Amino acid sequence: MDLQSATMLQALPESKTLSILNKVTRLKQEGHDIINLAGGDPDFNTPNMIIVEAEKAMKLGMTHYVNSNGIPELRNEIAHKLKIENGVNYDPSQIIVTAGGKPALYVALKSIINPGDEVLVINPAWVSFEPLITMVGGHAVSVDLNPNDHFKLTKELLDAACTERTKAIIVNNPNNPTGRVLSIEEFHNLRDVVIEKDLILIADEVYEKLVYGTHQFTSLASIPGLENRTITVQSFSKGHAMTGWRLGYLALPSELVPAASNIQGHLATCTPAFIQKAGVVALKEAKEEVEYMRSIYDKRINQVVTYLNQIPNVNCPHPEGAFYVFPEIKFRNFDSIELANYLLDEAKVAVTPGIAFGSSYLHNIRISCAMSERELEEALRRIEKALTKIV
Ligand SMILES: Cc1ncc(COP(=O)(O)O)c(C=O)c1O
């Protein structure tokens, strides 16, 4: 019997963070006091009214199969939210509710990619974009943004990466890991390339609710010229602290709905109805709770950036959104994997090596601020001690 996995999946890159995460598990099992700043799971509990609504819906019998694209109440509410908050006109029929942002991205990519099609990934990029592209038979092409140019997205970089096989661009705004929020100029750069090369834009906007200071969130689909070429991907995981619920959605041009809807139906049947019902309450009634969590992340980010920047050889740009910081650290010529291992061994703090987000980020690490201030403070103290250790 041939027990080889599919050829396509043999090309699936192994997680670059796996060895660090395995080590975290081992050290914890051995009884070490590890502070894990490598994850992306909010430390907040889901706002109570969302939990109450899910309980109520379950007791009322919303425990059966429902429409595979989502319950009308939630799709209507999402369409309303996109219109009022983002200035984007999607009809409810253009919305598909999924079990989180990841499946929404999968459905989006599977709907448009033919074998060998190329998809531009703007690095530094979240670790799952490339594997998701590979899983649907596409080919990820990296566009590496330059840290010395504030990770600015230029038309030149995009143009240089396009070929006749380019089908789409995935953009994550606000960005994980850098925390950058795209400027109007960058929006226009993107729009020009997307239109000139006749591409589809996949806009991963799962950190929409987490934007700081004077920066404002703008949905890519609201940019004139992009409205009919954009697949918007959203999730309740981050802003609403609902990672474990598995609730997200995609909003897409009507021409793509039949294919996407078919994939969703055969893949998932539907997203659990009681969770969708809770999603309605999340959108309608949890605005204050979401804003409260945002304000706490804002404080923590200030605390972390200020602390890190006073450590010699650490340069930590201030994020404009999301809940990560992505400092560059020059320490004993260590690359990011060596540095992450060192911080784990020496400081018992787990961080994500920059290389996980693109091969150019050799001296960066990603630190998650989705942790209590007390734990962050202790982690920073330990990191400082490790980075200023004399050998
Ligand atoms: C940029 C980005 N997109 C999508 C996701 C997927 O989130 P979920 O599947 O929990 O909705 C994540 C999770 O970390 C992320 O960072």
Q: State the chain's mean pLDDT as an integer.
A: 95
- Give residue 16's pLDDT: 65
Q: Could you tell me if 330 and 349 are in contact, meaning their C-beta atoms sit under 8 angstroms apart?
A: no
Q: Does residue 225 carry a pLDDT above 70?
A: yes
Give the integer Cα–Cα distance in Å for 217 and 208. Answer: 6
**95-98 and 248-251: which strand pairing?**
antiparallel
> Which residue among 15, 97, 105, 126 has the greatest number of ligand 1 atoms within 8 angstroms of its CB, and so is best to mutate?
126
Mean pLDDT of 127-148: 95
* Ligand 1 atom nearest residue 40's Cα: 14
What are the sequence ranges of the domains in the chain?
7-45+288-386, 62-284
What are the C-alpha distances in Å from 374 to residues 190, 285, 370, 381?
40, 30, 12, 11
Looking at residue 39, its pLDDT comes to 87
What is the distance in A from the centroid of ligand 1 to the CA of 14?
A: 18
Spelled out in words, what is the top-level CATH class assigned to the domain 62-284? alpha beta
* 7-45+288-386 and 62-284: identical CATH topology: no
CA distance 317 to 328: 9
CATH number, domain 7-45+288-386, options 3.50.50.60, 2.40.37.10, 3.90.1150.10, 3.30.750.24:
3.90.1150.10
Pocket of ligand 1 (CB under 6 A): 40, 100-102, 126, 172, 176, 204, 206, 235, 237, 243, 248
127 CA distance to ligand 1 middle (Å): 10
For residue 22, the model assigns a pLDDT of 85
Model confidence at 10, pLDDT cuts 50, 70, 90, reads confident
How far is the centre of ligand 1, averaged over its atoms, from the C-alpha of 30 (Å)? 30
Residue 234 Cα to ligand 1 middle (Å) = 9
Backbone angles phi, psi at 221, to 5 degrees: -70, -10
pLDDT on residue 6: 78
Please give the share of the chain, as a percent, with pLDDT higher than 90.
92
Q: Which of these ranges, 117-126, 270-279, 338-347, 382-391, has the smallest mean pLDDT?
A: 382-391
Give the model's pLDDT for residue 5: 81
The residue-averaged pLDDT of 325-348 equals 95
- Give the model confidence (pLDDT) of 195-218 as tens digits: 999 999 999 999 999 999 999 999
Distance 313 CA to ligand 1 centre (A): 31
Give the Cα separation of 253 and 226 in Å (integer).
Answer: 10
